[in-house]
Amino acid sequence: MIMNFKVILQEAEDGGYIVSCPALSGCHSQGDSMEEALENIKEAIAGCLESLADERTRLLGASGRVVEVTV
């Protein structure tokens, strides 16, 4: 499943970039360049989604694991 997320990219005071994903509370990253920051937020988003899936599984009491598939 391909998912699209909007992110906010801001130039940091130190010259790097800060990026956050408003759809996922607490999902932030940074990078020295715009490209690096955008690659880093992709990893952060994947981590946030995996964490949310793990938490949902734990709360529902179901056993299972998170796997990634591309369609």
Q: What's the pLDDT band for 63 if we cut at 50, 70, 90? A: low
> What are the DSSP calls for the chain, one per residue?
-------EEEE-TTSSEEEE-TTSTT-EEEESSHHHHHHHHHHHHHHHHHHHHHHHHHHHT----------
pLDDT of residue 62: 61
- pLDDT at residue 71 above 60? no
Segment 9-55, tens digit of pLDDT: 999 998 999 999 999 999 999 999 999 999 999 999 999 999 888 88
pLDDT of residue 25: 92
pLDDT of residue 37: 97
Q: Which domains does the chain have, with CATH numbers?
A: 8-60 (3.30.160)
